[in-house]
């Protein structure tokens, strides 16, 4: 028993470097430890009945239940009401001459806001930071899809690759919540990266053909790297083991032996990881994203409990989009070079302006230029 105890303690994440990353531990074993320690009611999604909660509170604080009742009455939100029960109040308007300091501040702010004239064209800004809140406490329509009690939730940051010049000095990322029982391929499919949407080739003679050549459909290989193991996506026959070259290179350079496994066969529970440690996701050959697990915990009733919504996107970095050089309104879809009609070289165009300028009404190419489909990094905003 003692031996088992020491052994299982290796799977409790402890810091390797304070505030940076933990030592490696096995995700599934950590979950088992949690379940050994806690009772099912600790991680149940059921709300504790109010009377029970009150009784527990009274016992914990060592006060009689009458005191708890009295406290509840005094602290009740009802006592905060400043108007009669039957009167409807507009909560957004602070009345004249408020006596409370907080209300005075709000009043000041409200008056100031009225003096502002704002031209808000970007509606998405309002909701930009609400991704996580949107899914909070969400229950599935079909009870079958309910996240099981005692399920692990891991938070993962996927950083943007450094191959984009504009991200050299910042570290923008997307954050996902994944379930311990989910497969690595589910996270891979949830990650959106413009590299997957790139279209390679020159299409000035056949602009309508371009959308057929999306990279994601052509180059399906990808891998995650965690703790000495390359997890390759080998779901499709055309997938290649991208890690092979790295493994061979490592062999000739006295690196410790690396292992490989299939991404589609591996759940997060089966992984050994360190929290806070930079790992790798590589796709499209050289699009490399740093992957960091930032948190591991048991699911809670206030979490999103709809399994079908996981991996759940909880944070998304939004980049400034590059607009068309002609209309300055739409996101660019084409990039041209050697273009006599363009004001610069290379030049970005939206689809409408590109076609209006470069083709006649029959769709014949006008003038000499080379045209490449362009996918803006902000296309996912």
**198 forms part of the interface with Zn ion (CB under 5 A):** no
**158 forms part of the interface with Zn ion (CB under 5 A):** no
- 296 by Cβ neighbours in 10 Å (0-12 / 13-18 / 19+) ranks as buried
Mark the segment that binds Zn ion (CB under 5 A) among 138-146, 220-228, 230-238, 319-327: 319-327
Smallest distance from Zn ion to CB 244, Å: 20
Smallest distance from Zn ion to CB 193, Å: 3
**193 forms part of the interface with Zn ion (CB under 5 A):** yes
Q: Which is nearer to Zn ion, 106 or 216 (CB)?
A: 216
**287 forms part of the interface with Zn ion (CB under 5 A):** yes
**215 forms part of the interface with Zn ion (CB under 5 A):** no
Count of residues binding Zn ion (CB under 5 A)? 10
Q: Which is nearer to Zn ion, 26 or 333 (CB)?
A: 333
**153 forms part of the interface with Zn ion (CB under 5 A):** no
Smallest distance from Zn ion to CB 351, Å: 8
**Binder among 319, 326, 335, 347 for Zn ion (CB under 5 A):** 326
**Binder among 327, 356, 366, 370 for Zn ion (CB under 5 A):** 327
Mark the segment that binds Zn ion (CB under 5 A) among 100-108, 121-129, 231-239, 279-287: 279-287
Smallest distance from Zn ion to CB 363, Å: 18
Q: Which is nearer to Zn ion, 191 or 304 (CB)?
A: 191
Measured CA to CA, the distance from residue 277 to residue 249 in angstroms comes to: 23
- 131 by Cβ neighbours in 10 Å (0-12 / 13-18 / 19+) ranks as middle
Q: Which is nearer to Zn ion, 30 or 226 (CB)?
A: 226
Smallest distance from Zn ion to CB 137, Å: 32
Smallest distance from Zn ion to CB 134, Å: 25
**375 forms part of the interface with Zn ion (CB under 5 A):** no
Measured CA to CA, the distance from residue 200 to residue 335 in angstroms comes to: 12
C-alpha triplet 159, 313, 317: angle, nearest 5° = 45
The 3-state DSSP class for residue 255 equals coil
Contact 211, 199 (CB under 8 A): yes
Site string for Zn ion, 114-133 (x = CB under 5 A): --------------------
**Alpha helical stretches, state H, 154-203:** 184-190, 194-197
Residues whose CB falls within 8 Å of the CB of residue 20, separated by 6 or more in sequence, listed in order: 276
**319 forms part of the interface with Zn ion (CB under 5 A):** no
Contact 280, 288 (CB under 8 A): yes
Smallest distance from Zn ion to CB 354, Å: 7
> What is the DSSP-derived secondary structure letter of residue 345?
S
Q: Look up tokens 């504790």; give the residue.
A: 48
**348 forms part of the interface with Zn ion (CB under 5 A):** no
Give backbone dihedrals phi and psi of 37, rounded to 5 degrees, phi first: -80, -40
**324 forms part of the interface with Zn ion (CB under 5 A):** yes
Q: 3-state DSSP helix/strand/coil percent for the chain, to nearest 5?
A: 35, 20, 45
> What is the DSSP-derived secondary structure letter of residue 16?
E
Smallest distance from Zn ion to CB 156, Å: 15
**282 forms part of the interface with Zn ion (CB under 5 A):** no
**280 forms part of the interface with Zn ion (CB under 5 A):** no
Query: Binders of Zn ion among 160-189, rule CB under 5 A?
Result: 161
Query: Binders of Zn ion among 230-259, rule CB under 5 A?
Result: none
- Which residues are bridge partners to 288 per DSSP? 282
Q: Which is nearer to Zn ion, 287 or 335 (CB)?
A: 287
Q: Where are the beta strands (DSSP E) in the chain?
A: 15-17, 21-22, 25-26, 152-159, 173-179, 222-226, 229-232, 259-262, 272-273, 278-283, 287-298, 312-316, 334-337, 347-349, 370-373
**Binder among 158, 187, 350, 375 for Zn ion (CB under 5 A):** 350
The 3-state DSSP class for residue 253 equals coil
Catalog residues that contact Zn ion under the rule CB under 5 A: 161, 193, 195, 287, 324, 326-327, 330, 350, 353
């Amino acid at each position: 028993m003692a031996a088992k105890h020491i052994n299982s303690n290796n799977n409790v994440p402890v810091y390797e470097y304070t505030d940076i990353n933990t030592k490696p531990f096995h995700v599934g074993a950590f979950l088992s430890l949690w379940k050994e320690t806690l009772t099912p009611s600790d991680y149940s999604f059921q709300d504790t009945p109010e009377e029970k909660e009150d009784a527990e509170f009274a016992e914990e604080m060592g006060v009689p239940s009458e005191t708890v009742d009295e406290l509840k009455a005094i602290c009740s939100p009802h006592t905060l009401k400043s108007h009669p029960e039957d009167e409807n109040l507009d909560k957004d308007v602070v009345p004249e001459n408020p006596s409370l300091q907080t209300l005075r501040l709000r009043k000041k702010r409200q008056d100031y806001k009225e003096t502002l004239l704002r031209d808000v064209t970007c509606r998405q800004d309002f909701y930009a930071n609400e991704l996580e809140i949107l899914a909070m406490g969400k229950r599935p329509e079909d009870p079958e899809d309910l996240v099981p009690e005692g399920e692990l939730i891991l938070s993962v940051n996927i950083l943007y690759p450094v191959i984009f010049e504009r991200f050299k000095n910042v570290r923008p990322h997307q954050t996902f919540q994944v379930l311990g029982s989910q497969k690595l391929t589910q996270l891979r499919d949830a990650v959106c990266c413009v590299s997957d949407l790139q279209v390679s080739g020159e299409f000035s003679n056949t602009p309508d053909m371009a959308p057929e050549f999306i990279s994601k459909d052509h180059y399906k290989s990808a891998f995650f790297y965690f703790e000495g193991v390359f997890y390759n996506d080998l779901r499709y026959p055309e997938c290649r083991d991208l890690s092979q070259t790295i493994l061979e290179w490592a062999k000739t350079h006295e690196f410790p032996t690396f292992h490989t496994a299939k991404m589609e066969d591996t759940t997060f529970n089966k992984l050994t990881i360190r929290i806070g440690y930079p790992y790798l996701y590589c796709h499209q050959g050289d699009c490399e994203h740093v992957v960091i697990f930032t948190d591991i915990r048991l699911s809670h009733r206030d979490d999103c409990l709809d399994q079908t919504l996981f991996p759940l996107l909880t944070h998304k970095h939004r980049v400034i989009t590059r607009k068309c050089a002609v209309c300055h309104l739409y996101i660019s879809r084409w990039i041209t070079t050697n273009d006599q009609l363009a004001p610069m070289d290379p030049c970005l165009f939206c689809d409408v302006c590109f076609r209006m300028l470069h083709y006649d009404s029959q769709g014949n190419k006008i003038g000499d230029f080379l045209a490449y489909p362009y996918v803006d990094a902000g296309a996912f905003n």
